[in-house]
Structure formats: C-alpha cells, structure tokens
C-alpha cells in the first residue's frame, strides 16, 4: 500500500481506522511454509487472538491455515468463518471443565494445560483425544509480559511434573494424541528455541499414540528499520532436520504444528489517525491525535515500539514530537519521536498494527471502536464498521427509578 492508498482509505472510511494488507499476510504465511517445506506434514494454525476479524480468518483459511483458539468464542468465530473443526485447536488457560466440554461437542481438538482439569477430563472422557501443553521452563525471547515459558508462568504443565502427568494418563486411560509448548513472544535466539524443542521431544517419548507435535510460535517481527527478527529460514533448516530424526526414532511420521499470530499479521497492519492539535509547551511539541490507548494499547501496556509516519507530508522536514492521544489518562504513543513535520489535520500511520491492536481495543471514555479495512487485490474492503452511539447503548438496560420507588 502506498501513502496515497492510506490517505484515500482515511478519507473514505474516516479515522481512526485499521488497515490490513492481504498480500503481506500471504507473504508471511508462504514464507513459513517454505522454511519448513521439507517436513512431510506441516500444519499452520493462525493464533486467532492476534486479530479475530472473521474476514481475516476466512482469508487465512483460504491460504491453507487452520486456527489456534483460546476461548469457545474464538472457536465459534473460526467455525463461522468456514474452518473445519478438524483444523481448529483449542488451547485455553484457566477455563472451566464445562467450557472445555462445550468445545469438545463442537468437534475441535483440545489442548489441556493443567493437571487438575486433565484428571477431571480424563476421568469423564477417556476416549476423547487430548493434547497436553507443557511448560519447558525456557524463555526464548521477549519481556516478562510476553514470555510464558518461565518457571512462575500460569501457562502449561511443568516439565518437572511429568511423573504425575503420566500417572493421571495411566489411571484414566485417556487418549493423548499431541504434545504442545509455547515459550512466549519475540523469539530472538534460535538455539534457545531448539533447546526447548529438545524438551518437547523428550516429553513426547512418554506417549505411544501421538499424531502431532505443536511448537507454538512467538516469532519476532521487526518493529523498526534494521530491527532484528527471528530467522525463520535458519529455524526451518535446523528444526526440520531434528524433527525428521525424532520421527524416525519414534517409529512413524508425525505432524509438525506451528501457531503464529503476530508473525502473520503484525506487519500487515497500519493504524491511521488524524492529528487534532499541535501543542507547544516549554519543552515538548505534542501531536494530539484522534485516538488513544482505547484503540491501540500496546505502547502503554507492553512498552512496544510502533514506527509512526506522517503520510500526509512524507517529504517534510523532520522534527521531534511526542505523539499523544485524546483519552483522559496518560496515553503516550511516542516520546520525542523524529517525524516529518506535522500539521493539524495530517494523517499519521502506525506500523505493526496488525497483531494485538484492534483485538485489544475498548470503549474507554465511551469512545467508539474504529473501523477495519482489508486491502485486497488493490482495493480497500470494509470488514468492520465503525461503532456508533447506538452500539454503546446496546445491551444496556435503563432502570425507571421512579417506577421502582413506587413499587
């Protein structure tokens, strides 16, 4: 998408607005497939939580992707998008046995990550195939808010609890058909990931009827120019070789599964916002825009960096701005960021806005959530309408206090 395309989209659909480039999504999907092309049976399950718009799910499914879901609602969205139940895996955390049973009735592969639920489920449903999520106690990258493989993580069954896990499986006679791990986001060191993979391989040797090994994802994407990223090609070469050796030792070919979210959609997304006001103080020039952390919380929540470009004046002289939102809280997107000169009314484009951006948006300050647009085949397609005041009132019930008092 060119700057002009983005300006046209902001003009047609208003701001703020999320825009996703279908070509970039396809490029990333095919890049991952190519990196593991020597694996006989590779399955890619898109992590729905990253961006759950149903048009995105349908598009990824058309490319050949299954879905990685974490809630019964994400399962239902995937089914609504036309994804077959067999191509959906459900990996919740901290949910009730009742929700897991609800998903089982939908025909989806389940993945259990704690011993209590594993024992309860195995006792009631020993014949239902179950994947087990282990915690390898290895962090492959990222900060503490996006790492889930550490010893105090709430995710997964500790690898050190394997004897108890095996006792539960034996006592219930349950059917374990997959082993899963996920170390966290922003994997920087492939060797660390490969070490975690060895733990998964060792765990898998305890189960005789496995169909797949799920290595999660967490691949790092670049957030700024010349930024480092996960070397998918190197990982593909090294993990493929090791996976083949394991399958030979195991005695049959297994399916290799990945669950990328950010890797597939982060770079495809742009978030467009209009500049409401330029405010000069004694030390700072603020660019106040028509959005806030109600629409893009990642910089405030994770400390994440998003490149910001002035698409209205890309060749302008660079100046330093602090880009802030219109929420009645501190919502700073960037401090003293070097951006082409900004004028009120300009459109700013935030990069890496495809993953965990709209999906984490809210109505804080009673602001409407923005529209979403998919740029596909050279044309912008509206895939979610901007909310209205009626949407804020929907599902609210107004009490007639005078009538209640009379009663």
**pLDDT tens per residue across span 248-261:** 999 999 999 999 99
* CA separation for the pair 42, 27 (Å, rounded): 17
- From residue 78, alpha-carbon distances to 56, 102, 339 in Å are 10, 15, 39
Assign residue 216 a region: left if phi > 0, alpha if psi is -120 to 50, beta otherwise? Answer: left
Q: Out of 249, 280, 328, 390, which one is annotated catalytic?
A: 328
Contacts of 209 (CB under 8 A, 6+ apart): 175, 176, 177
pTM for the model stands at 0.93
Through-space distance between the first and last CA atoms of the chain, rounded to whole angstroms:
61
Q: What local confidence, expressed as pLDDT, does residue 119 receive?
A: 97
So what's the pLDDT on residue 147? 42
User: Per CATH, which fold does 269-393 belong to?
Assistant: Lyase, Ornithine Decarboxylase; Chain A, domain 1 (2.40.37)
pLDDT of residue 361: 97
Q: What is the pLDDT of residues 2-43, one digit of tens each?
A: 999 999 999 999 999 999 999 999 999 999 999 999 999 999
Lowest mean pLDDT among 140-154, 276-290, 341-355: 140-154
Residue bearing the bigger pLDDT, 311 or 402: 311
Q: Are 74 and 104 in contact (CB under 8 A)?
A: no
In this prediction, residue 190 has a pLDDT band, given cuts at 50, 70 and 90, of confident
- The rounded distance, in Å, linking the Cα atoms of 42 and 263 is 17
Residue 97, token pair as written in the block: 């046995």
Q: Does 181 score more than 80 pLDDT?
A: yes
Whether the Cβ atoms of residue 218 and residue 142 lie closer than 8 Å to each other: yes
Q: Provide the residue ranges of all domains of the chain, joining segments of one domain with +.
A: 36-260, 269-393
Q: Are 350 and 271 in contact (CB under 8 A)?
A: yes
Tell me the CATH number for domain 36-260: 3.20.20.10
- Residues 321 and 342: their CA atoms lie apart, in Å, by 9
Residues ≥6 apart with Cβ < 8 Å to 118: 112, 130, 132, 157, 165, 168, 169, 174
Query: How are beta strands 255-258 and 371-376 bridged, if at all?
Result: unpaired
User: From CA 257, how far away is CA 204, in angstroms rounded?
Assistant: 14
Is-catalytic flag, 131? Answer: no
3-state secondary structure of 406: helix
Angstrom distance (rounded) from CA 259 to CA 46: 5
**Torsion sign, CA atoms 224, 226, 231, 233:** positive
Judge whether residue 150 has pLDDT over 60. no
Q: What is the pLDDT of residue 388?
A: 97
Measured CA distances, 241 to 37, 190, 201, 251, 390 (Å): 12, 14, 13, 16, 56
């Amino acid at each position: 998408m060119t700057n002009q395309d983005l300006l046209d989209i902001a003009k047609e659909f208003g701001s703020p607005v999320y825009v996703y480039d279908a070509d970039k999504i396809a490029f990333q999907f095919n890049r991952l497939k190519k990196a593991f092309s020597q694996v006989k049976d590779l399955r890619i399950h898109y992590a729905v939580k990253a961006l759950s718009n149903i048009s995105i799910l349908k598009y990824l499914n058309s490319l050949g992707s299954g879905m990685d879901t974490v809630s019964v609602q994400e399962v239902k969205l995937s089914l609504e998008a036309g994804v077959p139940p067999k191509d959906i895996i459900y990996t919740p955390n901290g949910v009730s046995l009742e929700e897991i049973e609800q998903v089982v009735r939908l025909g989806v592969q389940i993945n259990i990550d704690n011993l209590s639920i594993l024992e309860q489920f195995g006792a009631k449903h020993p014949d239902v195939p179950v994947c087990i999520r282990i915690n390898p106690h290895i962090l492959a990258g990222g900060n503490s808010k996006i790492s889930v493989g550490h010893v105090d993580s709430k995710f997964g069954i500790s690898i050190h609890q394997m004897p108890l896990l095996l006792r539960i499986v034996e006592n219930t006679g349950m059917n374990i058909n997959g082993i899963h791990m996920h170390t966290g986001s922003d994997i920087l060191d492939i060797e660390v990931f490969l070490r975690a993979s060895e733990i998964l391989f060792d765990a898998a040797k305890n189960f005789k009827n496995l169909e797949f090994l799920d290595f999660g994802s967490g691949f790092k994407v670049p957030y700024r120019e010349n930024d480092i990223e996960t070397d998918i090609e190197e990982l593909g070469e090294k993990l493929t070789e090791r996976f083949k050796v394991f399958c030979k030792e195991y005695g049959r070919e297994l399916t290799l599964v990945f669950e990328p979210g950010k890797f597939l959609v982060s770079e495809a997304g742009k978030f467009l916002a209009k500049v409401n006001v330029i405010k000069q103080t004694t030390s700072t020039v603020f660019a106040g825009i028509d959005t806030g952390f109600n629409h893009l919380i990642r910089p405030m929540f994770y400390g994440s960096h998003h490149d910001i470009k002035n698409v209205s004046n890309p060749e302008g002289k660079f100046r330093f701005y602090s880009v802030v939102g219109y929420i009645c809280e501190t919502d700073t997107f960037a401090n003293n960021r070097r951006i082409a000169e900004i004028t009120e009314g300009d459109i700013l484009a935030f990069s890496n806005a495809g993953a965990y951006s709209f999906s984490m948006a809210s109505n804080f300050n009673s602001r409407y959530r923005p529209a979403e647009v998919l740029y596909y085949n050279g044309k912008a397609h509206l895939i979610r309408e901007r909310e209205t005041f009626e949407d804020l009132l929907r599902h609210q019930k107004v009490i007639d206090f005078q009538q209640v008092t009379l009663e």
